[in-house]
Amino acid sequence: MVDSTTDERDGQQRFGLKQVEMNIGSVVGSAMGPRAAKMHRRMLQRMRMDTSNVPENHAFNTLARGLFQAWLRFGDPNAVVVFAVLQGSMHRFDERAVEYELQRISDWQVEVVRLSSKEAYSKLQLDPKDFTLRLTADGRAVAVVYSRSGPLPEWTEEEWEARKRIERSTAIKTSTVFSALSSSKRVQQLLAQPGMIERFMPEPKDRQMVAAIRQTFVGLWGLENDDEQTQQLIKHAIANPSLYVLKPQNEGGGHNYFDDELKQKLLQFTREERAAHTLMQRIWPVTAKNFMVRPMEEAVLDDTIVELGMFGYLLGDKRDRSIVRNKQHGYLVRTKPASSAEGGIGAGGVYDSLNLF
Q: Determine if residue 61 is labeled as part of a ligand binding site.
A: no
248 is in an annotated binding site: yes
- Binding residue per annotation — 53? no
Cα 77 to Cα 42: distance, rounded to the nearest angstrom: 40
Please tell me the distance from the alpha carbon of residue 245 to that of residue 262, in angstroms, as a whole number: 7
Handedness of CA 302, 308, 311, 314 (dihedral sign): negative
CA angle 155, 23, 300 (to 5 degrees): 95
163 is in an annotated binding site: no
Q: Which positions ≥6 away from 246 have C-beta within 8 Å?
A: 237, 256, 257, 258, 262, 265, 266, 277, 278, 279, 280
Could you tell me which of 265, 264, 294, 291 has the C-alpha nearest to residue 277? 265
151 is in an annotated binding site: no
State the DSSP code for 15: E
Q: Is 251 annotated in some ligand binding site?
A: yes
Q: Does residue 57 have a known ligand-binding role?
A: no
Cα–Cα distance, 281 to 267 (Å, whole number): 18
Q: Does the bond joining 337 to the residue before it have cis omega, within 30 degrees of 0?
A: no
Integer-rounded Cα Rg, in Å, for the chain is 22
Q: For residue 280, say whether it is annotated as part of any ligand binding site.
A: yes
Q: Is 33 a known ligand-binding residue?
A: no
Is 253 known to sit in a ligand binding site? yes
Sign of torsion over alpha carbons 239, 240, 242, 248: negative
- For residue 208, CA distances in Å to 1, 220, 245, 271 come to 22, 22, 29, 39
The verdict on whether residue 252 carries a ligand-binding annotation is yes
Cα dihedral 321, 324, 330, 331 in deg (nearest 10)? 0
DSSP, res 319? T
Q: Rounded distance, CA 57 to CA 327, Å? A: 14
Q: Is 87 annotated as a binding residue?
A: no
- Tell me if 219 is assigned to a ligand binding site: no
Whether 162 contacts 198, CB under 8 Å: no
Residue ranges for the known binding site for Mg(2+) are 251
Residue ranges for the known binding site for substrate are 334
Residue ranges for the known binding site for ATP are 185, 247-256, 280-283, 307, 336, 342
Residue ranges for the known binding site are 185, 247-256, 280-283, 307, 334, 336, 342
